[in-house]
Copies of this chain bind each other. A is one copy, B any other.
Amino acid sequence: MNRELRVLVMSGKPAIVYAPLRHALSSGGKRLRALLVLLASKAVGGNDAVALPAAVAVECLHNFTLIHDDVMDRSPVRRGRPTVHAKWNDAVAVLAGDQLMALGYESLLGGEGRRVQAGKGKPRAGAARILSVYTRAYRHVCEGQGYDLEFEGRRAVTMREYRRMIDLKTARVIAAAAEIGALAGGGSPEEVRALRGYGERLGLAFQIRDDVLDVTGVQKEFGKKIGGDIARGKKTYLLVKAMETARGRDAALLRRVAMGRGARLVGQVRSVYERTGAVDAAAREIGKLTRTAKSGLRSFPGSAGKAILLDFADRLADRTA
C-alpha cells in the first residue's frame, strides 16, 4: 500500500506539486481507509491485487481532504509534521490537493484499464459503480466540510446538525471505503450493503473519538495539536453535548469556546467536558456505534476476513492515535 502510494508521486513533475505530495504521503498516517478497502474485499472473497488501485484511490481522496482542510483550518501540524501549507504555502497546498484527487481518479481508472488489458475480461459493471460511490463520497466530504466551516461561525449547533456534519465529512468516506472494497472484491448486493453500513457506523464512532482525542489525547501520539478544535471554535461532539447541560459559569465558558475564543482555556474546557458528562457520553456513543457496526456483519459467514473487521472496529474505538 505504502509502496503503491510512493510510486504514484515518486517521479511526477513539476516538483512544486509532487514534492509536497511526497511529503504528505510519506508522513505515515494510519491508512485505515485503504486498509478497510482491502479488508472488505477480503471479507467477500476478493483478492488484494484487484482491490489495491481502489485502496490507493481512497487514500488519495482522504489525503486530499487533509491537505485542503489544513489550509482552511490553518492547522500547522499533522501526523507530527508541518502541514503542506505551513511548509510551503497556501497556493502550493491547494494545488497539491487538487493534483492528488486527479491521481486518485487515475488510480481507479488505471486499475480497471490494467485489468482489461491483462485479458481479464471487459470493463465490469462494478467499476462504474465504484466510480459512482467514490464520486459521491468526494461530493459529500466537501459538503460536510462546508457545514464544519459554517458551524465555526455559529454560536451553537444541535446534536442533529452535528451528526449530519460528521456523517457527510467523515463517515461517508469510511462507508465508501468499505463499499468500494466489497464491490472490488465482487461481493453480493447484500454484502456490499452490510459492509457500507458497517463503515458508516465505524466512521461516526471514528469522528467522535477524534473529537475526544482533541481534548484528552497526547500530542506526540495523536499527531495533531491538542486543543486545536477548541481554539477554532469547532462544533465537536463534546462541545455540543456539554452545551446541552452546562449552566452558569460553565455555560459561559462554553459559549466563549463556541465563538472561537477558547484557545487559552483548554484545561478548563476539558474539566467542563468531564464535569458535564460529555466525555462519558462520547464514550458510550462510541461503544454503541461500534457494537452496531459489528452486529451489521452477523449475516457474514465466519472467516478470517470477518474476524479482522470485528477486531478492527474495536481497535478504532480505543485508539489514541
Contact = CB atoms under 8 A, between A and B. Distances in A.
Interface in A24-52: none
A72 B91 CA distance: 5
Interface residues of A, number: 42
Contacts of A131: 105, 109, 131
A248 to B, nearest CB: 33
A68 B90 contact: no
Interface string A124-147: 010110011001101100110111
The A interface is mostly helix, strand or loop, or mixed, namely: helix
A109 B135 contact: yes
A135 to B, nearest CB: 4
B146 A95 contact: yes
A145 B109 contact: no
A267 interface: no
A30 B101 CA distance: 27
A106 B139 contact: yes
A14 B161 CA distance: 12
Contacts of A102: 135, 138-139, 142
Contact of A149 (B92, B103, B136, B142): B92
A85 B127 CA distance: 36
Given A109-B131, A132-B113, A146-B16, A71 B94 contact: yes
B146 A99 contact: yes
Contact of A95 (B13, B14, B106, B149): B149
A17 interface: yes
Interface string A84-126: 0000001110110111011101100100110000000001010
Contacts of A274: none
A14 B153 CA distance: 14
Contacts of A98: 68, 97-98, 101, 142
Contact of A105 (B15, B105, B127, B147): B105
Contacts of A71: 90-91, 94
A2 B99 CA distance: 27
A102 B147 CA distance: 17
A263 to B, nearest CB: 18
Nearest to A106: B135
A94 B91 contact: no
A98 B102 CA distance: 11
A20 to B, nearest CB: 10
Task: Count chain B CB atoms within 10 A of each CB in A102, A106, A109, A131 and give the residue with the most.
Answer: A102
B99 A143 contact: yes
A150 interface: yes
Which 6 residue pairs are nearest across A and B when measured between Cβ atoms?
A72-B91, A102-B139, A17-B146, A99-B142, A14-B146, A102-B138
10 contacts: A15-B150, A16-B147, A17-B146, A68-B95, A71-B91, A72-B91, A72-B95, A90-B90, A123-B123, A123-B128
Given A95-B145, A99-B143, A102-B138, 7 more contacts: A14-B143, A17-B143, A72-B94, A94-B97, A109-B128, A112-B128, A123-B128
